[in-house]
Amino acid sequence: MENNTLGKRMKWLREKKDLKQNKVAETLGITAYQLSRYESGKSKPDPKLIASIANYYDVTTDYLLGHNSQETAVDPEEDEKTAIINKIAKDFPNADLMFHDMANMDADQLQEVYEFIKFKMSQKDK
């Protein structure tokens, strides 16, 4: 299969929760081998199982299938981080930032980056 969004998202969600395939498979009523095949894209679960997987991970089926890039259960820390990154990008569009490096920062660190850029920009105007 060319596009394995479903499998990649299933694996990412499982690993994000630090779960083993055996545990997830048992809860879903399938074998670990089947789960492995779904995650690798070698086979696809039926629609009923996709709904069960979405319910298990507390996401939408649209998210699992790649129709939506946003999980329904969003980590509040991630929401705060995204808001600060967006604020930096909006308020300082000419700032040359390495946003991929910022992805590893927590909300407090990002707020400090914002305050620092704000300070530096105010110094530039003097």
Amino acid at 41: G
Domains of the chain, by residue range, sit at 5-65, 76-124
> What count of other Cβ atoms lies within 10 Å of the Cβ of residue 38?
24
- Of residues 2 and 35, more confidence is placed in 35
Task: State the Cα–Cα distance between residues 16 and 66, nearest whole angstrom.
Answer: 18
Task: Domain 5-65: give its CATH code.
Answer: 1.10.260.40
Read off the pLDDT of residues 43-64 as tens digits, 9 standing for 90 and up.
999 989 998 998 898 888 888 8
Angle at 119 between CA 114 and CA 120, to 5 degrees: 100
pLDDT band per the 50, 70, 90 thresholds, residue 112? confident
Read off the pLDDT of residues 58-89 as tens digits, 9 standing for 90 and up.
888 888 888 766 655 445 555 666 677 677 77
